[in-house]
Amino acid sequence: MWKRIQTLYLAISTALVLSLFFCRFATDLASTGDEAIIRYYEKTSYLLMLIMLLTAHVFAICTYKTPALQARVSVISGLALAGFQIWLGIDFMIYRNELAFSVTMLFPLLGAFLDFLAGHSAMVDEFTITAVKRRQNQKKNRSRK
């Protein structure tokens, strides 16, 4: 399982998504002077998205024996992370005067990049395995003649 680079990419991406459960999203700069910390899990829609993303990443890691499926799940979870990043960017544009955002808003972008790298590596593995099997079958067919 850990012999393939895409598993490492997916593990790092999963750790980034998992860390969002514990990190702060933003700090509310209220007029009273008190700073209220807002976390990702406090907004239900973010929480549901994070649970979905974490599930997709765990599933992608568990499908290491079938590289084609792993590539597909990795790309789909990368697209979901890119969508989550766009969603966070829109919230940033709307609330940029009221909230001080955390650097963790960029974690989905980094995770999406890692997911796309994992999908690419998994497809290269699949193509390599298919080519080797095809080559072995051609050698067997030549030796029978």
CB 8 within 8 A of CB 113: no
CATH architecture of 5-144: Up-down Bundle (1.20)
* pLDDT category of residue 33 using cuts at 50, 70 and 90: low
Written as one letter, the residue type at 135 is R
Which residues have a Cβ under 8 Å from the Cβ of 124 and sit 6 or more positions away? none
CB 85 within 8 A of CB 109: yes
**Which of the pair, 51 or 27, is modelled with greater confidence?**
51
Question: How confident is the model over 88-129, as pLDDT tens digits?
Answer: 999 889 888 888 888 999 999 999 999 999 999 999 988 988
Handedness of CA 54, 59, 65, 68 (dihedral sign): negative
**Which of the pair, 145 or 72, is modelled with greater confidence?**
72
- Domain residue ranges of the chain, discontinuous segments joined by +: 5-144
